Structure 1
Amino acid sequence: MTVASTDGDPLLAAATAAVPLGQTLRAVGQGRLAMSTTAAAVHRLDPVGPADGVPPQLLSVYGTLLLQAALAAAECGGAAAVRELTGQAGDVADRVGDGHDHQRSGFGSTAVELARVVAAADLGEAEEAVRRHDVLVRRPGWRGLPAEYRAAYLVDVARAALQSGDLIMAGRSLVDADRVASAEVRLRPSARTVVAEVARCAPPAAGVAGLAATLGLTR
């Protein structure tokens, strides 16, 4: 998430700053700390979020924090927490609408569905993740998400497809991710790991062998 101007609003500034902090903690394997950090920010906003007349910028950050907490919970195996948090985020998204990108958050109903797919993959529910993905990419809001969001998400889809044994989908998702935002594939260690795993399959999924060679992941 790109942190947008908070116009001197200290509550909005603190909430906005908690989003990239949660993302960073998850990226370095600190899922439990990410969950506690984002959950604390959610609770701080809780009396504000559900109220009438709340600016859409604040609601969008509130919803984004709920999704970050849900993703952290998924990494910790908390399926019940994931359902609760994404459900709350879905309610917020219904109020915010889709495709507005308030506070440069990318938050909306499409973002909620995206988080559900990633969470399912993290929980080991690969077939559920693939099923939800097939529906998600047909939503009008899919193409409106920032390129880096879509690319990082497609890497997670490739991981779920690999787990479910769908090598064609895994390969296609990686190649698409590299085309959408190559840095999300080429610079992230977790993405490179997925590329290497798919490339080791015999025969490798279409396009992945070349991608793996480009990344120096072939033997």
Structure 2
Amino acid sequence: MGSAEVLPVGRRVAYWRGRRRLSQKVFADRLGKSKSWVDKVERGVRSLDKLSTLQEIARVLRIDTAALVGQDTAPVQAKRHGDGVERIRAALSRYEIPLGKLAGRPVLPVERVLRDVEYAWTTFRHARYPQVVDLAPDLLINAQRTDVHDRGSGRGPLVEAYRVTAALLVKLGDAELAWLAVDRAMLAASGDRELVAAAAVQLGQVLRALGRAREAKPVMLTAAYRIAPPVIEHGAPVELSLCGTLLIQASLAAAQDGNESAAGELLDEAAGMAQQVGDGCDHHCTAFGPTAVDVARAAVAVENGDTDEALAWHEKATTRSSWRWLPVEHRAAHLLDVARAYLHSGDVGNAARMLTEAERTAPSEITHRPAARDILAEVVRDPRAPTTIAKLAATLGVG
């Protein structure tokens, strides 16, 4: 298409109409529009605000809708991370430690593995999932080997390596493999109540992703009350953060299982702990605080089908000054929940707006999460969808 690649939509319509040797009058007749309407569109005086109109224009011009929104090459499918996930699977399938096969690779010091784990978590929290896919296999192998040589100090980094891997795999839609990773984390953490609580956070995510919400809730509550301080008012921030986050996981599981009242009660309990901890902390990568609880309330409301309540909590959370303190992946995931809420209410325009905002916040949240692509596909199929979402859908081959 050459220089036409940078043209606005109206000029693209004119370009392709010319290529098809159609006059404005003939083109207008085929669309069921007036010649004046076509002229205004091509001059940019009138915007194309409905995806259904854009699709009809593309049909008449015998081109893909993507050509009208600036994506004339073949759609770029979301990267499936097949090779990377298989490397993670291979790393989780190695039994060289119990079999005593440790030769051939240097054992890294605990401090180095701890730095690598912290870097992987930071990368994940910034929603750079492809980079974490690349990091995870070696991280797992190195953490396993280091733990053998230093059973004391090496256990923490090993648990965290399994945790971040499980969190990543949930994002990528491979809950079964995530279950293997988090099961390893729970076993490695045994005997250390703080590490068990930290690993249990990802266990809750994995069980919910597997549709095992009913099993998840009691497990989360057991883990939460095991780490809870004897007197909540005197609890250490790390204990309160882990306990509160596990209560959030239990609440989400209860909502998924249809127990609306239990979900609300658990969030109320978590909210009291969040007030003590405050915002801006991230103990064991939980980002727990009042804003995180508000975000969780919105997610529970979406699960309960209460759109008005979900949007009210969204408004409260995002107008807090601490909203920007939440990790990027946490914010983007919340925006996807809000997009679901708008879809439930039939508000396709605002659902598209939330998807666009999520993509701006964390592109990988849209590009690499199957759940996000499902929401995008549902939005773009609706004839009322705004044209602003069409380019993103075309880029990802969603429709």
The TM-score normalised by the length of structure 1 is 0.90
1:157 to 296, 320, 338: 338
Structure 1 window deviating more from structure 2 (86-95 vs 175-184): it is 175-184
Which segment drifts farther, 155-164 or 49-58? 49-58
- Superposed CA deviations along residues 75-94 of structure 1, whole A, max 9, x for unmatched, are 11111111110000000011
In structure 2, the residue matched to 1:212 is 393
Q: 2:210 aligns with which of 22, 25, 28?
A: 28
Over the aligned positions, Cα root-mean-square deviation in angstroms equals 2.2
Q: Tell me the CA shift for residue 130 of structure 1.
A: 1.4
Q: Which runs of 5+ in 2 are unaligned?
A: 1-120, 123-155, 160-188
Q: 1:191 maps to what in 2? A: 372
The alpha carbon displacement at 1:49 in A equals 5.8
3-state DSSP of counterpart to 1:127: helix
**Shift of residue 171, structure 1, vs aligned partner:** 0.7
Q: Which amino acid aligns with 1:95?
A: Q
SS of 1:99's equivalent in the other structure is coil
Quick one: structure 1 residues 209 and 50, their matched pair in 2 at CA, closer, same or farther if it must change by over 3 Å? farther
Partners of 2:225 and 2:243 within 8 A in 1: no
Whether 1:181 and 2:362 are equivalent positions in the alignment is yes
Letter in 2 for 1:171: A
Structure 2 CA distance for aligned equivalents of residues 27 and 41 of structure 1: 19
Give TM-score, length-normalised by structure 2: 0.51
Quote how far apart the aligned CAs of 1:45 are. Answer: 2.8
Q: CA deviation at 1:23?
A: 0.8
* Aligned AA (2:205): Q
2:227 and 2:242 in contact (8 A); partners too: no
1:120 to 293, 297, 301: 301
Give the alignment of 1:126-141 within 5 angstroms. 126-141=307-322
Which digits, 9 at most, give the CA deviation of each residue in 1:47-85, with x for residues without a partner? x26444322111111110011111111111111111110
C-alpha contact 1:198 1:205 (8 A) present in aligned 2: no
For residues 104 and 76 of structure 1, the distance between their equivalents in structure 2, rounded to whole angstroms, comes to: 26
Offset of residue 192 of structure 1: 1.1
- Which stretch of the first structure deviates more once superposed, 76-85 or 203-212? 203-212
State the shift of 1:205 in Å. 2.9
Q: Is the 8 A contact 1:32 1:76 kept in 2?
A: yes
Question: Are the equivalent residues in 2 in contact too, given 1:152–1:185 (CA < 8 A)?
Answer: no
Name which of 55, 76, 81 aligns with 2:257: 76
Partner SS state of residue 323, structure 2: coil
Secondary structure (helix, strand or coil) at the match of 1:207 reads helix
For 2:327, the equivalent position in structure 1 comes to 146
C-alpha distance in 1, partners of 2:319/2:277? 20
User: Please, which runs of 5 or more residues in structure 1 have no aligned partner?
Assistant: none
Which of residues 69, 91, 102 is equivalent to 2:272?
91
Q: Distance in 2 between matches of 1:139 and 1:217?
A: 34
Whole-Å Cα distance in 2 between the matches of residues 75 and 109 of structure 1? 22
Counterpart of 2:107 in structure 1 is none
Secondary structure of 2:321's match? coil
Matched, 1:58 2:259: no
The answer to whether the aligner puts 1:18 opposite 2:171 as a matched pair is no
Q: Residue type of the partner of 1:173?
A: M
| Bigger Rg over Cα | 2
- Using the aligned pairs only, state the percent identity: 43
Q: Contact between 2:232 and 2:273, CA under 8 Å: does it hold in 1?
A: no
Residue 193 of structure 1, CA deviation = 1.0
More deviation, 201-210/139-148:
201-210
Decide whether aligned partners of structure 1 residues 15 and 123 sit closer, same or farther in structure 2, where only a CA change above 3 A counts: same
